[in-house]
Structure 1
């Protein structure tokens, strides 16, 4: 265990002058110690999470208002009920994952045994139970949401916690995260583009088509988890570490400055993404009135985001993750601010250009916050002598869900207060203004707050390199001490 004074010297000490730099363009595809097959296998796991959570985030609200016929206030209540369960189960599951010991490791068993419940609970969200009471319907969907979130936590908490174990270095984590986020964006692209070709509009007449599409999504979501389980293996040196009780794990997390700053960056970014996913369908349908171009607009955003990932990976290597995030967040915030000026008379050309520009910013939002978080694990080990990846990721996802459970219902309540009418073909001017506000200004403010914390983030590349070198040396010394004298070599 190491003192705060020693830690301060590492974090706050001035790094040496960079005397030489070799550009690492396309580091995403360079051969490194991880190997292409490992990065593909691990990255594919995020396809399942992306395709399900994107469908929930983008379509559940409009499914419940325009297909089921619930008022926005009841939809807000159902979402809040569903996500409130995570306030309790996320840290408990994260701590459980850290303490798990099995022949498959600490994380992988959850991928194997949690995959099918994850897919099954997702389907519950798209059924229409034979209930006529709106309050009972809201209770059903709130309960289904809680079950799905719990099943997802059991699968993706350990999945995320594998990142710092698989990729030990600063830039390897950006590369690995880039692969994972590539699959994440592919999942988003599938969910945002295909429904409009297969389902058409979200209306009561298309409820059966929505369910069939959800079945396909559930099947796709499960398969990559089995691939990830089979192809990815945990590092054995991390299997023997002891983990303190729940209170000790929480204390370690909240005492880690890099983790707290990274958490704010992550939180601001992904609440912004959650809001955009939930509201973009409303925006395209009612504000710019281009529902027939829905698949094209979504494709422009997410194909551009996918293509931009090597760019953000390169910029993270050229500068560092902090500066790359600040540039990406500022760019996306500007694009979102411009959305408030678009309307039904805006030409499709302008909409297409802004969609491509926004996609570049979306690529940064997907890659960089996720690659920042694992670096705090080494600081945790440096300060405490232990690693709490499961607890760290559980608190991160808990914070995201908690913020979204407040933000998403809040914006739905704002839409209701602005006069949004479920199933109405044409919305009032006040409702249009409400959609513009929550689609552009609020997400832009969130990104601005993330950029401020990124500016002050305490771990640079040089700091992390010194941390990992020190920890490697201490692990070697610990291993030497553990050698049984009877087994030691004799002259």
Structure 2
């Protein structure tokens, strides 16, 4: 009996795990930074409005660094590949995150502010920027087939989601034990930073770039990327801005950091936060049906439905208080609703790159990744910034016995009404995303053009 032939379009378990390792590490880092606001207000005793302002100010660098990073990644050509070398930035993410949570309460407000601003800017404006820029660039050169893209962004994302959910369960438990002082916060971050840095480097060591997808000219020569190509992409591809809006809202909601305030001052038990994070895992198995749904409908339509499910879940939060049944139902809803976006967003970026090629432009996956990466960071920082400003305006004080009703109502609204409205806005924007309908024609035309150039080049070489 003959040996069963291996499916070339399949992604092996080992390669799948290695690819998702950095997503686990990076996702956990984002979750950790989501606790920065409560660390600054309750441990360092900094004014919430000041903290929010610092986080927003740090974003002034991002408009510049994101475009530069995308351009540099698109131009990179090393023996390791184009996107792969930038995987090393995960080391900088975790090192600076640890430093960010190692600030001394004894320092003056000016020194504290400068320290937090500097570390936060390094994480977001430098290291995280390059990780966003290289992700799609790396993926389309490490995997050859569309089925592999769908697999690693659906089935594979279960691995990264389980990793971040495990972090969300473990971190609040460890936080209640260790994060009772500034030194405790530093120790807590080190406990997670060291192993997650090692995990985050697995993709770099075990997944190589082996696929050539670069656009070639009529003579078969690879077209060189220049800064004019960046301008073309930013002005001629409207769909990437819809993808950017999706990422902005997703990260605004996820990184507001209001959860810990809600479970402290409304539910009055921060340990329940870990339980709710565990309940969100119920939505993960839904990913099993994603490839079939995408084939019949599209990635964008799947996200459209997810937005409304998320909005419904957050609306329930407003009436939940400390009721674990209602909080659990809400968590299942926005957990299920967020899965398509968190797992499949790279598929939309690839569609935008295919659109660029169809319109006669460079694919520019790095630049596209930076547009969405910029939106991701702006969303997370403005979320944290808005949280600080609104808490301060509502009269928030970091004391259970002194917190006014106005601050409690603000916390409830930020945990429910605000994200519900934002997800409805995203759903409306997806109605303008037309690439899912155009994609069959785009892929066909791109393939015919590449085939024609390859035949012409072969003919010239034979002649």
Pick closer, same or farther for the CA change 1:232–1:472 going to 2, 3 Å. Answer: farther
Match of 2:265 among 266, 286, 299: 286
SS at match of 1:132: coil
- Of residues 187-196 and 446-455 in structure 1, the stretch that sits farther from structure 2 once superposed is 187-196
Per-residue deviation, 1:458:
0.8
Per-residue deviation, 1:298:
1.7
Q: How does 1:333-344 map to 2 (within 5 A)?
A: 333-344=311-322
Per-residue deviation, 1:284:
1.5
Q: Distance in 1 between matches of 2:175 and 2:247?
A: 33
Partner residue in 2 for 1:472: 447
Match of 1:162 among 138, 141, 148: 138
Partner residue in 1 for 2:462: 488
The question of whether the paired residues in 1 share the 8 Å contact of 2:141 and 2:213 is answered with no
Pick closer, same or farther for the CA change 1:46–1:146 going to 2, 3 Å. Answer: same
Q: Does 1:410 align with 2:386?
A: yes
Match of 2:236 among 245, 248, 255: 255
TM-score between both structures, scaled by the size of structure 2: 0.89
Q: How does 1:75-474 map to 2 (within 5 A)?
A: 75-111=51-87, 113-129=88-104, 131-149=106-124, 150-166=126-142, 172-200=148-176, 205-234=180-209, 235-238=211-214, 241-275=222-256, 278-301=257-280, 303-344=281-322, 346=323, 348-424=324-400, 427-460=403-436, 463-474=438-449
The question of whether the paired residues in 2 share the 8 Å contact of 1:258 and 1:376 is answered with yes
Per-residue deviation, 1:166:
4.4
The question of whether the paired residues in 2 share the 8 Å contact of 1:81 and 1:143 is answered with no
- Of residues 446-455 and 33-42 in structure 1, the stretch that sits farther from structure 2 once superposed is 33-42
The question of whether the paired residues in 1 share the 8 Å contact of 2:170 and 2:274 is answered with yes
The question of whether the paired residues in 1 share the 8 Å contact of 2:20 and 2:159 is answered with yes
TM-score between both structures, scaled by the size of structure 1: 0.84
Per-residue deviation, 1:115:
3.6
Pick closer, same or farther for the CA change 1:425–1:40 going to 2, 3 Å. Answer: farther
- Of residues 282-291 and 258-267 in structure 1, the stretch that sits farther from structure 2 once superposed is 258-267
SS at match of 2:154: helix
Pick closer, same or farther for the CA change 1:419–1:90 going to 2, 3 Å. Answer: same
Q: Distance in 2 between matches of 1:195 and 1:254?
A: 42
Partner residue in 2 for 1:39: 16
1:287-343 Cα deviation digits (max 9, x unpaired): 122323222122112x22433332444433342222211211101101101111122
Number of residue pairs aligned between Structure 1 and Structure 2? 450
The question of whether the paired residues in 2 share the 8 Å contact of 1:39 and 1:179 is answered with no
Q: Distance in 2 between matches of 1:292 and 1:483?
A: 66
Q: Distance in 1 between matches of 2:440 and 2:51?
A: 47
Q: Distance in 2 between matches of 1:31 and 1:271?
A: 40
Contiguous gaps of at least 5 residues in structure 2:
1-5, 216-220
Pick closer, same or farther for the CA change 1:322–1:171 going to 2, 3 Å. Answer: farther
The question of whether the paired residues in 2 share the 8 Å contact of 1:266 and 1:370 is answered with no
Structure 1 residue runs of 4 or more that deviate by more than 6 Å after TM superposition: none
Contiguous gaps of at least 5 residues in structure 1:
1-29
SS at match of 2:176: coil
